[in-house]
Amino acid sequence: MPKPGPRLRLVDVAERAGVSLATASRALAGRDGVSEEVASRVRQVSQELGYVANPYARTLAGGASSTVGLVVHQVDDPYFSEIAGGVIQIADERGLLVQICHSGRDPGHELRQIRHLIAQRVGIIIVAGSGYRDARVEADAKAALSDYQRQGGRVAVIGRHSLGVDAVLPDNEAGGRVLAEHLLGLGHRRIAVAAGDEALTTVADRLAGVAAALRGQGLDLADLPVVHSAFTREGGRAAAERILAEHPRTTAIIALNDAMAMGVLSTLRAQRIAVPERMSVVGFDDVSVAADLAPGLTTVRLPMTDMGRMALAMALKPVSARPRRRSTGHQLVVRDSTAPVTPRA
């Protein structure tokens, strides 16, 4: 709706600086072919007049788009809101604007969002959140992003390996291992896992880490109950209910993300099962509220804000021959939700 409005155009700046349109454009874009003297005069005038380029004209004419598209599961999920915070921070420093959309963990919807961003001609696309184990499910998204890259768009993903683009990869497997080792070290043997949707690679990877730790102790994941449910607080509640009903002797629950851990804690609280006395609980991610839960949640910290920063920083670099991959650190944070296993009454 915003009518053109009598805004300042580049011609105005050019005229005022006594140069041609082209020269003004070059000067402000910092391209060479302009004497430093003229360039600085143009910049000066542009500053004084408070000129801001019309991004639509600029992009239409083939210039760089200064907006980045970010696809997350949901911004109001703390894991993703922290990532978004990191992306926005870097964007702000570079004068870029961030368009955020929701995938809702639905591959079809995600694809639609990616297409929308491409149609909007954003210059950079960042996709955050787990990938899908079935390659066919993300084939279309992968194709769309490749096309987009081929046409000069920049892409970075967070937490998914199979898209063939620059990626920031949380250490899911190692994190899962560390978590299981922590519980094993406390003497727990009857461990259950509250896992998210099994179609998600993040779930599979974290689970693989847990399995590896168990094997290290001569145990087998097959002996441990793994309950798949939604990768959310509600899913955690449901999983905990099933675990308690079907495996009443469980002494520790590994939730594969903090949201699920919060659901697990909620169920335990409702059933008056003391944590960590009767049940140890661990999460994954270390969202900022993890420390404020009752009890403080033992979890694996992922640097979400940094991950967002890293992803955008990567995308801002010139394309590399082959996709870059940066893996994030991970760190076990022991709080009050875990304790040594107690002998059965």
Partner DNA sequence: GTGAAAGCGCTAACAA
Partner DNA sequence: TTGTTAGCGCTTTCAC
Minimum CB distance to DNA smaller for 19 or for 243: 19
Residues at the contact surface with a second copy, assessed by CB under 8 A: 1-5, 52-57, 59-60, 62, 64-65, 67, 69, 74-76, 78, 81-82, 84-85, 88-89, 92, 95, 97-102, 115-123, 148, 151-154, 262, 265-266, 288-289, 291-295, 305
Q: Could you give the CA distance from residue 298 to residue 306 in angstroms, rounded to a whole number?
A: 21
Ramachandran category for residue 95: left, alpha or beta (phi over 0 → left; psi -120 to 50 → alpha): left
CA neighbours within 13 Å on the CB side: how many for 196? 25
Q: Which does 29 bind (CB under 5 to 8 A by kind): DNA, a second copy, none?
A: DNA
Q: Could you give the CA distance from residue 195 to residue 227 in angstroms, rounded to a whole number?
A: 6
Q: Which does 84 bind (CB under 5 to 8 A by kind): DNA, a second copy, none?
A: a second copy
Give SS3 for 322.
coil
Q: Which does 99 bind (CB under 5 to 8 A by kind): DNA, a second copy, none?
A: a second copy
Is there binding between residue 19 and DNA (CB under 7 A)?
yes
Q: Which does 266 bind (CB under 5 to 8 A by kind): DNA, a second copy, none?
A: a second copy
Is there binding between residue 50 and DNA (CB under 7 A)?
no
> For DNA, which residue of 2, 50, 61, 248 counts as binding (CB under 7 A)?
61
Please give the C-alpha separations between residue 72 and each of 9, 76, 79, 100, 101, in angstroms, as whole numbers. Answer: 36, 10, 10, 7, 6
Q: Beta partners for 146?
A: none
> For DNA, which residue of 7, 94, 215, 317 counts as binding (CB under 7 A)?
7
Q: Cβ of residue 65: shortest distance to DNA, in angstroms?
A: 11
List residues binding DNA (CB under 7 A): 4, 7, 9-11, 18-23, 25-26, 28-29, 31-35, 37-39, 53-54, 57-58, 60-63
